[in-house]
Homo-oligomer: A and B are copies of this chain.
Amino acid sequence: MSRPKPISGYPEFLPAGRIVEQQVLDVLRETFELHGFGSIETRAVEPMDVLARKGEITKEIFTVRRLHADDEAPVPAGDQLGLHFDLTVPFARYVLEHGGHLSFPFRRYQMQKVWRGERPQEGRYREFLQADIDIVGAENLAAHHDVEIPLVALEAFERLHTELGLPPVVMHVNNRKLLQGFYEGLGIDDTAGALQRVDKFDKIGGPAVADLLTGELGLSDEVAAKCVAIAGICTGDTSFVDQVRALGVENPLLDEGLGELAELVRVAGAAVPGRLVADLKIARGLDYYTGTVYETELVGHEKMGSVASGGRYDSLASDGKVTYPGVGFSFGVTRILAPLLNRGELTATRSVPTCVLVAVDSEDTRAAAIATAGKLRARGIPTEVAPKADRFGKQIKYADRRGIPFVWFGGQTGDGADGPQSAQVKDIRSGEQVDADADSWQPPAADLHPRVGTA
Protein backbone atom coordinates (compact mmCIF):
# COMPACT_ATOMS: atom_id res chain seq x y z
CA MET A 1 0.00 0.00 0.00
CA SER A 2 1.47 3.35 -0.99
CA ARG A 3 1.06 6.37 1.22
CA PRO A 4 -2.68 7.05 1.54
CA LYS A 5 -4.04 10.52 0.92
CA PRO A 6 -6.45 12.34 3.23
CA ILE A 7 -10.11 12.35 2.22
CA SER A 8 -11.34 15.90 1.93
CA GLY A 9 -13.84 16.84 4.65
CA TYR A 10 -12.72 14.16 7.13
CA PRO A 11 -10.22 15.89 9.41
CA GLU A 12 -7.90 13.74 11.53
CA PHE A 13 -5.63 15.06 14.23
CA LEU A 14 -2.07 14.08 14.99
CA PRO A 15 -1.51 12.86 18.57
CA ALA A 16 -0.73 16.34 19.96
CA GLY A 17 -3.89 17.74 18.35
CA ARG A 18 -5.89 14.89 19.78
CA ILE A 19 -4.55 15.78 23.26
CA VAL A 20 -5.94 19.29 22.74
CA GLU A 21 -9.29 17.83 21.67
CA GLN A 22 -9.39 15.47 24.66
CA GLN A 23 -8.75 18.27 27.10
CA VAL A 24 -11.45 20.39 25.48
CA LEU A 25 -13.88 17.47 25.79
CA ASP A 26 -12.81 16.94 29.40
CA VAL A 27 -13.62 20.57 30.24
CA LEU A 28 -16.99 20.31 28.51
CA ARG A 29 -17.83 17.04 30.24
CA GLU A 30 -16.81 18.32 33.66
CA THR A 31 -18.80 21.53 33.23
CA PHE A 32 -21.88 19.69 32.01
CA GLU A 33 -21.74 17.13 34.81
CA LEU A 34 -21.23 19.82 37.46
CA HIS A 35 -24.56 21.19 36.24
CA GLY A 36 -26.27 17.81 36.45
CA PHE A 37 -26.28 16.89 32.75
CA GLY A 38 -25.88 13.16 32.20
CA SER A 39 -24.26 11.65 29.13
CA ILE A 40 -26.04 9.59 26.53
CA GLU A 41 -24.86 8.19 23.23
CA THR A 42 -27.17 7.25 20.41
CA ARG A 43 -26.43 4.87 17.55
CA ALA A 44 -24.88 6.52 14.47
CA VAL A 45 -27.73 5.48 12.19
CA GLU A 46 -31.39 6.44 12.09
CA PRO A 47 -34.16 5.32 9.76
CA MET A 48 -34.29 7.60 6.74
CA ASP A 49 -37.83 8.70 7.50
CA VAL A 50 -36.67 10.00 10.90
CA LEU A 51 -33.76 11.87 9.33
CA ALA A 52 -35.71 13.23 6.39
CA ARG A 53 -38.28 14.92 8.59
CA LYS A 54 -36.00 17.95 8.85
CA GLY A 55 -36.48 18.70 5.20
CA GLU A 56 -33.84 21.15 4.12
CA ILE A 57 -30.92 18.93 5.07
CA THR A 58 -32.11 15.77 3.30
CA LYS A 59 -29.78 16.16 0.40
CA GLU A 60 -26.78 16.01 2.74
CA ILE A 61 -27.65 12.68 4.34
CA PHE A 62 -25.30 9.72 3.93
CA THR A 63 -27.15 6.46 3.47
CA VAL A 64 -25.73 3.22 4.80
CA ARG A 65 -26.23 -0.29 3.45
CA ARG A 66 -24.49 -3.63 3.56
CA LEU A 67 -22.08 -4.10 0.70
CA HIS A 68 -23.69 -7.32 -0.43
CA ALA A 69 -27.14 -5.84 -0.18
CA ASP A 70 -26.29 -4.05 -3.43
CA ASP A 71 -27.05 -7.25 -5.30
CA GLU A 72 -30.29 -7.89 -3.52
CA ALA A 73 -33.74 -6.39 -3.78
CA PRO A 74 -34.02 -2.68 -2.86
CA VAL A 75 -34.36 -2.01 0.87
CA PRO A 76 -37.93 -0.99 1.78
CA ALA A 77 -37.99 2.78 2.42
CA GLY A 78 -38.92 2.29 6.07
CA ASP A 79 -35.87 0.10 6.69
CA GLN A 80 -33.35 2.34 4.96
CA LEU A 81 -30.74 3.76 7.32
CA GLY A 82 -28.69 6.94 7.19
CA LEU A 83 -25.94 8.48 9.33
CA HIS A 84 -27.22 11.15 11.71
CA PHE A 85 -26.37 14.71 10.63
CA ASP A 86 -26.86 16.30 14.05
CA LEU A 87 -27.50 15.15 17.63
CA THR A 88 -30.94 16.72 18.00
CA VAL A 89 -32.87 14.41 15.71
CA PRO A 90 -31.46 11.23 17.33
CA PHE A 91 -32.00 12.73 20.78
CA ALA A 92 -35.65 13.40 19.98
CA ARG A 93 -35.99 9.79 18.84
CA TYR A 94 -34.19 8.59 22.01
CA VAL A 95 -36.61 10.57 24.19
CA LEU A 96 -39.62 9.02 22.47
CA GLU A 97 -38.16 5.51 22.48
CA HIS A 98 -36.90 5.50 26.06
CA GLY A 99 -39.22 8.13 27.56
CA GLY A 100 -40.79 5.63 29.93
CA HIS A 101 -37.38 5.10 31.57
CA LEU A 102 -36.37 8.77 31.79
CA SER A 103 -37.20 11.40 34.43
CA PHE A 104 -38.32 14.81 33.18
CA PRO A 105 -37.08 17.49 33.00
CA PHE A 106 -34.32 15.39 31.48
CA ARG A 107 -30.87 16.97 31.26
CA ARG A 108 -28.47 15.28 28.90
CA TYR A 109 -25.23 15.95 27.09
CA GLN A 110 -24.03 14.09 24.06
CA MET A 111 -20.65 14.24 22.34
CA GLN A 112 -20.53 12.33 19.08
CA LYS A 113 -19.47 12.52 15.49
CA VAL A 114 -22.07 13.53 12.92
CA TRP A 115 -21.92 13.30 9.13
CA ARG A 116 -23.08 15.64 6.36
CA GLY A 117 -22.50 15.35 2.65
CA GLU A 118 -21.58 19.01 2.31
CA ARG A 119 -18.99 20.45 -0.02
CA PRO A 120 -15.89 20.36 2.22
CA GLN A 121 -14.12 23.63 3.11
CA GLU A 122 -12.55 25.10 6.22
CA GLY A 123 -15.18 25.07 8.92
CA ARG A 124 -17.41 22.70 6.92
CA TYR A 125 -16.69 19.02 7.26
CA ARG A 126 -18.31 15.75 6.21
CA GLU A 127 -17.51 14.20 9.59
CA PHE A 128 -17.28 16.35 12.68
CA LEU A 129 -17.67 16.19 16.42
CA GLN A 130 -20.50 17.99 18.21
CA ALA A 131 -21.14 18.38 21.92
CA ASP A 132 -24.77 19.09 22.77
CA ILE A 133 -26.60 19.91 25.97
CA ASP A 134 -30.38 19.94 26.20
CA ILE A 135 -33.02 20.14 28.89
CA VAL A 136 -36.29 18.57 27.86
CA GLY A 137 -39.58 18.58 29.73
CA ALA A 138 -42.69 16.45 29.39
CA GLU A 139 -45.53 18.79 28.33
CA ASN A 140 -43.88 21.90 29.82
CA LEU A 141 -40.50 23.41 30.61
CA ALA A 142 -39.95 26.55 32.67
CA ALA A 143 -38.57 29.67 30.99
CA HIS A 144 -35.63 29.92 33.43
CA HIS A 145 -33.97 27.04 31.58
CA ASP A 146 -33.60 29.43 28.61
CA VAL A 147 -31.30 31.43 30.88
CA GLU A 148 -29.57 28.42 32.37
CA ILE A 149 -28.45 26.80 29.11
CA PRO A 150 -26.43 29.76 27.74
CA LEU A 151 -24.88 30.31 31.18
CA VAL A 152 -23.64 26.71 31.25
CA ALA A 153 -22.32 27.18 27.71
CA LEU A 154 -20.58 30.42 28.63
CA GLU A 155 -19.07 28.85 31.76
CA ALA A 156 -17.63 26.09 29.55
CA PHE A 157 -16.29 28.59 27.01
CA GLU A 158 -14.78 30.69 29.80
CA ARG A 159 -12.90 27.67 31.13
CA LEU A 160 -11.73 26.76 27.61
CA HIS A 161 -10.42 30.32 27.32
CA THR A 162 -8.72 30.67 30.70
CA GLU A 163 -7.54 27.07 31.17
CA LEU A 164 -6.67 25.99 27.63
CA GLY A 165 -6.09 29.25 25.80
CA LEU A 166 -8.96 29.08 23.33
CA PRO A 167 -10.16 32.48 22.13
CA PRO A 168 -12.85 34.15 24.26
CA VAL A 169 -16.37 34.16 22.85
CA VAL A 170 -19.24 36.53 22.37
CA MET A 171 -22.67 34.98 22.40
CA HIS A 172 -25.35 36.71 20.35
CA VAL A 173 -28.87 36.11 21.57
CA ASN A 174 -32.33 36.97 20.40
CA ASN A 175 -35.85 35.76 20.98
CA ARG A 176 -38.18 34.63 18.28
CA LYS A 177 -41.23 35.89 20.18
CA LEU A 178 -39.72 39.35 20.13
CA LEU A 179 -39.35 39.50 16.34
CA GLN A 180 -42.61 37.64 15.71
CA GLY A 181 -44.51 39.99 18.04
CA PHE A 182 -42.84 43.03 16.53
CA TYR A 183 -43.84 41.99 13.01
CA GLU A 184 -47.38 41.18 14.14
CA GLY A 185 -47.57 44.55 15.87
CA LEU A 186 -46.60 46.14 12.56
CA GLY A 187 -49.46 44.31 10.86
CA ILE A 188 -47.22 42.03 8.79
CA ASP A 189 -49.11 38.86 7.79
CA ASP A 190 -46.21 36.85 6.39
CA THR A 191 -44.00 37.02 9.50
CA ALA A 192 -42.01 33.95 8.38
CA GLY A 193 -41.30 35.67 5.07
CA ALA A 194 -40.15 38.79 6.86
CA LEU A 195 -37.84 36.74 9.11
CA GLN A 196 -36.31 35.01 6.10
CA ARG A 197 -35.41 38.35 4.52
CA VAL A 198 -34.13 39.88 7.75
CA ASP A 199 -31.95 36.78 8.24
CA LYS A 200 -29.86 38.05 5.30
CA PHE A 201 -29.00 41.26 7.19
CA ASP A 202 -25.37 40.25 7.83
CA LYS A 203 -24.78 39.19 4.23
CA ILE A 204 -26.47 41.94 2.21
CA GLY A 205 -26.92 44.81 4.67
CA GLY A 206 -29.92 46.82 5.88
CA PRO A 207 -30.83 48.74 2.69
CA ALA A 208 -30.93 45.57 0.60
CA VAL A 209 -33.10 43.88 3.23
CA ALA A 210 -35.49 46.86 3.07
CA ASP A 211 -35.66 46.43 -0.71
CA LEU A 212 -36.56 42.76 -0.33
CA LEU A 213 -39.23 43.54 2.24
CA THR A 214 -40.89 46.15 0.06
CA GLY A 215 -40.28 44.49 -3.30
CA GLU A 216 -40.98 40.86 -2.47
CA LEU A 217 -43.39 41.15 0.45
CA GLY A 218 -45.08 44.40 -0.53
CA LEU A 219 -44.43 46.07 2.82
CA SER A 220 -44.55 49.85 3.05
CA ASP A 221 -41.29 51.79 3.25
CA GLU A 222 -42.11 52.76 6.83
CA VAL A 223 -42.77 49.18 7.98
CA ALA A 224 -39.68 47.89 6.16
CA ALA A 225 -37.60 50.61 7.81
CA LYS A 226 -38.76 49.50 11.24
CA CYS A 227 -37.89 45.88 10.43
CA VAL A 228 -34.41 47.00 9.46
CA ALA A 229 -34.15 49.25 12.49
CA ILE A 230 -34.91 46.52 15.00
CA ALA A 231 -32.49 44.16 13.24
CA GLY A 232 -29.76 46.74 13.75
CA ILE A 233 -30.17 46.81 17.54
CA CYS A 234 -27.31 45.12 19.39
CA THR A 235 -26.53 45.88 23.04
CA GLY A 236 -24.49 44.31 25.79
CA ASP A 237 -27.02 45.37 28.41
CA THR A 238 -30.80 45.66 28.64
CA SER A 239 -30.87 49.04 26.88
CA PHE A 240 -32.14 47.22 23.77
CA VAL A 241 -35.56 47.21 25.45
CA ASP A 242 -35.83 50.99 25.32
CA GLN A 243 -34.48 51.04 21.76
CA VAL A 244 -37.20 48.63 20.67
CA ARG A 245 -39.84 50.56 22.60
CA ALA A 246 -38.73 53.72 20.82
CA LEU A 247 -39.84 52.14 17.54
CA GLY A 248 -43.39 52.46 18.86
CA VAL A 249 -44.70 48.96 18.21
CA GLU A 250 -47.13 47.42 20.71
CA ASN A 251 -47.79 43.69 20.93
CA PRO A 252 -48.16 41.18 23.82
CA LEU A 253 -45.85 38.58 22.21
CA LEU A 254 -43.27 41.34 21.71
CA ASP A 255 -43.55 42.18 25.42
CA GLU A 256 -43.04 38.56 26.36
CA GLY A 257 -39.98 38.24 24.13
CA LEU A 258 -38.50 41.50 25.42
CA GLY A 259 -39.02 40.32 29.01
CA GLU A 260 -37.35 36.95 28.45
CA LEU A 261 -34.43 38.40 26.57
CA ALA A 262 -33.90 41.19 29.11
CA GLU A 263 -33.80 38.63 31.93
CA LEU A 264 -31.18 36.58 30.09
CA VAL A 265 -29.03 39.64 29.31
CA ARG A 266 -29.30 40.87 32.91
CA VAL A 267 -28.32 37.54 34.49
CA ALA A 268 -25.54 36.79 32.00
CA GLY A 269 -24.15 40.31 32.38
CA ALA A 270 -23.73 39.66 36.10
CA ALA A 271 -22.40 36.12 35.75
CA VAL A 272 -20.01 36.47 32.78
CA PRO A 273 -19.65 40.19 31.99
CA GLY A 274 -19.00 41.13 28.39
CA ARG A 275 -19.66 37.71 26.89
CA LEU A 276 -23.31 38.02 25.81
CA VAL A 277 -25.10 40.59 23.68
CA ALA A 278 -28.71 41.00 22.64
CA ASP A 279 -28.46 41.02 18.84
CA LEU A 280 -31.88 41.45 17.31
CA LYS A 281 -30.98 40.34 13.81
CA ILE A 282 -30.22 36.74 14.89
CA ALA A 283 -32.95 34.60 13.34
CA ARG A 284 -31.51 31.04 12.84
CA GLY A 285 -33.62 27.95 12.16
CA LEU A 286 -36.93 29.67 12.45
CA ASP A 287 -39.05 26.70 11.49
CA TYR A 288 -37.70 25.08 14.59
CA TYR A 289 -36.95 27.45 17.41
CA THR A 290 -39.81 29.14 19.21
CA GLY A 291 -38.18 31.38 21.85
CA THR A 292 -34.66 32.32 22.78
CA VAL A 293 -31.95 31.65 20.19
CA TYR A 294 -28.17 31.66 20.66
CA GLU A 295 -25.17 32.00 18.36
CA THR A 296 -21.54 32.18 19.39
CA GLU A 297 -18.46 33.64 17.75
CA LEU A 298 -14.82 33.25 18.71
CA VAL A 299 -13.33 36.71 19.26
CA GLY A 300 -10.74 37.37 16.55
CA HIS A 301 -12.17 34.55 14.43
CA GLU A 302 -15.52 36.05 13.49
CA LYS A 303 -14.99 34.94 9.90
CA MET A 304 -15.52 31.34 11.06
CA GLY A 305 -19.13 32.35 11.75
CA SER A 306 -21.13 30.88 14.60
CA VAL A 307 -19.30 27.89 16.08
CA ALA A 308 -21.87 27.04 18.73
CA SER A 309 -25.58 27.71 18.78
CA GLY A 310 -28.96 26.65 20.05
CA GLY A 311 -32.29 27.79 21.29
CA ARG A 312 -35.71 27.05 22.67
CA TYR A 313 -38.15 24.80 20.85
CA ASP A 314 -41.70 24.15 21.99
CA SER A 315 -41.71 20.66 20.56
CA LEU A 316 -38.53 18.63 20.35
CA ALA A 317 -40.68 15.58 19.86
CA SER A 318 -44.21 14.31 20.30
CA ASP A 319 -45.63 10.82 20.38
CA GLY A 320 -49.17 12.03 19.88
CA LYS A 321 -49.91 11.90 23.60
CA VAL A 322 -47.01 13.80 25.17
CA THR A 323 -45.19 16.77 23.65
CA TYR A 324 -41.62 17.39 24.78
CA PRO A 325 -40.49 21.06 24.78
CA GLY A 326 -36.79 21.74 25.17
CA VAL A 327 -33.93 24.16 25.12
CA GLY A 328 -30.48 23.20 23.92
CA PHE A 329 -27.07 24.25 22.78
CA SER A 330 -24.56 22.63 20.45
CA PHE A 331 -20.78 23.14 20.49
CA GLY A 332 -19.17 22.61 17.09
CA VAL A 333 -16.05 21.00 18.54
CA THR A 334 -14.35 20.12 15.25
CA ARG A 335 -15.46 23.40 13.76
CA ILE A 336 -13.74 25.26 16.60
CA LEU A 337 -10.62 23.12 16.88
CA ALA A 338 -9.69 22.05 13.35
CA PRO A 339 -8.88 25.60 12.14
CA LEU A 340 -7.04 26.51 15.37
CA LEU A 341 -4.98 23.29 15.24
CA ASN A 342 -4.29 23.54 11.52
CA ARG A 343 -2.97 27.08 11.95
CA GLY A 344 -0.91 26.03 14.96
CA GLU A 345 -2.72 28.50 17.20
CA LEU A 346 -3.38 25.83 19.81
CA THR A 347 -0.93 23.16 20.83
CA ALA A 348 0.01 20.67 23.55
CA THR A 349 3.31 20.69 25.43
CA ARG A 350 3.96 17.12 24.32
CA SER A 351 2.59 14.53 21.90
CA VAL A 352 2.32 11.71 24.47
CA PRO A 353 0.78 11.39 27.94
CA THR A 354 4.14 10.17 29.27
CA CYS A 355 5.77 12.25 32.00
CA VAL A 356 8.77 10.01 32.72
CA LEU A 357 10.91 7.76 30.54
CA VAL A 358 12.73 5.13 32.56
CA ALA A 359 16.02 4.51 30.80
CA VAL A 360 17.37 1.00 30.28
CA ASP A 361 21.15 0.66 30.08
CA SER A 362 21.17 -3.06 29.33
CA GLU A 363 18.43 -5.61 28.70
CA ASP A 364 19.49 -7.27 31.98
CA THR A 365 18.08 -4.33 33.90
CA ARG A 366 14.76 -4.12 32.02
CA ALA A 367 12.88 -5.90 34.82
CA ALA A 368 14.18 -3.38 37.35
CA ALA A 369 13.21 -0.51 35.04
CA ILE A 370 9.70 -2.00 34.71
CA ALA A 371 9.47 -2.21 38.51
CA THR A 372 10.50 1.45 38.82
CA ALA A 373 7.90 2.44 36.22
CA GLY A 374 5.26 0.49 38.14
CA LYS A 375 6.01 2.45 41.30
CA LEU A 376 5.70 5.78 39.50
CA ARG A 377 2.45 4.74 37.80
CA ALA A 378 1.00 3.57 41.11
CA ARG A 379 1.21 7.21 42.16
CA GLY A 380 -0.46 8.45 38.98
CA ILE A 381 2.66 9.42 37.02
CA PRO A 382 2.41 8.37 33.35
CA THR A 383 5.60 6.44 32.66
CA GLU A 384 7.19 4.54 29.79
CA VAL A 385 10.15 2.21 29.88
CA ALA A 386 12.72 2.79 27.13
CA PRO A 387 11.98 0.34 24.32
CA LYS A 388 15.67 -0.38 23.72
CA ALA A 389 18.71 -0.63 25.98
CA ASP A 390 20.91 2.19 24.79
CA ARG A 391 23.29 4.89 25.93
CA PHE A 392 21.74 7.80 27.74
CA GLY A 393 22.16 10.24 24.89
CA LYS A 394 19.86 8.10 22.73
CA GLN A 395 17.32 7.75 25.50
CA ILE A 396 17.23 11.48 26.06
CA LYS A 397 16.72 11.91 22.33
CA TYR A 398 13.79 9.46 22.50
CA ALA A 399 12.20 11.52 25.27
CA ASP A 400 12.97 14.84 23.59
CA ARG A 401 11.35 13.84 20.32
CA ARG A 402 8.08 13.20 22.16
CA GLY A 403 8.33 16.09 24.62
CA ILE A 404 8.66 13.73 27.63
CA PRO A 405 10.10 16.06 30.28
CA PHE A 406 11.88 13.60 32.62
CA VAL A 407 14.31 10.72 32.09
CA TRP A 408 14.89 8.36 35.01
CA PHE A 409 18.00 6.29 35.30
CA GLY A 410 20.05 4.20 37.68
CA GLY A 411 18.77 2.49 40.78
CA GLN A 412 18.97 -0.84 39.01
CA THR A 413 21.20 -3.83 39.41
CA GLY A 414 21.93 -6.43 36.81
CA ASP A 415 19.87 -9.12 38.54
CA GLY A 416 16.60 -7.26 38.03
CA ALA A 417 16.12 -6.30 41.68
CA ASP A 418 16.20 -2.75 42.94
CA GLY A 419 19.78 -2.06 43.72
CA PRO A 420 21.20 -0.04 46.56
CA GLN A 421 22.73 2.65 44.35
CA SER A 422 20.72 5.83 44.03
CA ALA A 423 18.48 6.54 41.07
CA GLN A 424 18.46 9.93 39.41
CA VAL A 425 15.93 11.85 37.40
CA LYS A 426 16.86 14.43 34.80
CA ASP A 427 14.69 17.30 33.60
CA ILE A 428 15.80 17.22 29.98
CA ARG A 429 14.63 20.78 29.39
CA SER A 430 16.85 22.39 32.07
CA GLY A 431 19.41 19.59 32.29
CA GLU A 432 18.93 19.56 36.04
CA GLN A 433 19.49 16.13 37.55
CA VAL A 434 18.61 15.06 41.11
CA ASP A 435 18.64 11.92 43.24
CA ALA A 436 15.19 10.40 43.33
CA ASP A 437 13.23 7.58 44.95
CA ALA A 438 10.52 5.96 42.80
CA ASP A 439 8.31 5.61 45.86
CA SER A 440 8.23 9.33 46.62
CA TRP A 441 9.55 11.52 43.78
CA GLN A 442 6.87 13.76 42.35
CA PRO A 443 7.09 15.85 39.18
CA PRO A 444 5.85 19.44 39.31
CA ALA A 445 2.06 19.36 38.96
CA ALA A 446 2.30 21.35 35.73
CA ASP A 447 4.39 18.60 34.14
CA LEU A 448 2.27 15.61 35.16
CA HIS A 449 0.06 15.79 32.07
CA PRO A 450 0.49 17.56 28.73
CA ARG A 451 -0.66 21.16 28.92
CA VAL A 452 -2.69 22.83 26.23
CA GLY A 453 -2.19 26.44 25.28
CA THR A 454 -1.55 28.95 22.54
CA ALA A 455 1.47 28.25 20.43
Contacts and interface: CB of A to CB of B under 8 A. Distances in A.
Nearest to A112: B113
A366 interface: yes
Interface in A10-65: 10-15, 18-19, 21-22, 33-45, 47-48, 50, 53, 58-65
A45 B98 contact: no
B34 A377 contact: yes
A366 B147 CA distance: 12
Contacts of A309: none
Interface in A110-149: 113, 115, 117, 127, 137, 141-142, 144-145
A317 interface: yes
A3 B320 CA distance: 9
How many copies the complex holds: the figure is: 2
A222 B19 CA distance: 57
Q: Most B CB atoms within 10 A — which of A18, A42, A99, A127?
A: A18
A44 B96 contact: no
A253 interface: no
Contacts of A68: 59, 117
Contact of A67 (B62, B98, B127): B62
A341 to B, nearest CB: 13
A353 interface: yes
A63 B63 CA distance: 8
A66 B60 contact: yes
Interface residues of A, number: 91
Q: Most B CB atoms within 10 A — which of A40, A45, A62, A401?
A: A62
Contacts of A320: 1-2
Contact of A354 (B36, B69, B102): B36
A6 interface: yes
Given A63-B70, A68-B59, A387-B105, A115 B44 contact: yes
Contact of A35 (B33, B59, B98, B377): B377
Given A62-B64, A388-B142, A127 B36 contact: no
A142 B363 CA distance: 11
A70 B62 CA distance: 10
A38 B4 contact: no
Contacts of A3: 96-97, 99, 319
B15 A317 contact: no
A82 interface: yes
A440 interface: no
B83 A64 contact: yes
Interface string A418-446: 00000000000000000000000000000
Interface of A: 1-7, 10-15, 18-19, 21-22, 33-45, 47-48, 50, 53, 58-70, 81-83, 93-94, 96-99, 101-103, 105, 107-108, 113, 115, 117, 127, 137, 141-142, 144-145, 317-320, 351-354, 366, 377, 380-384, 387-388, 398, 401-402
15 contacts: A1-B53, A1-B318, A4-B50, A12-B41, A12-B98, A21-B41, A34-B380, A35-B382, A38-B351, A44-B113, A44-B127, A58-B67, A59-B67, A64-B64, A145-B387
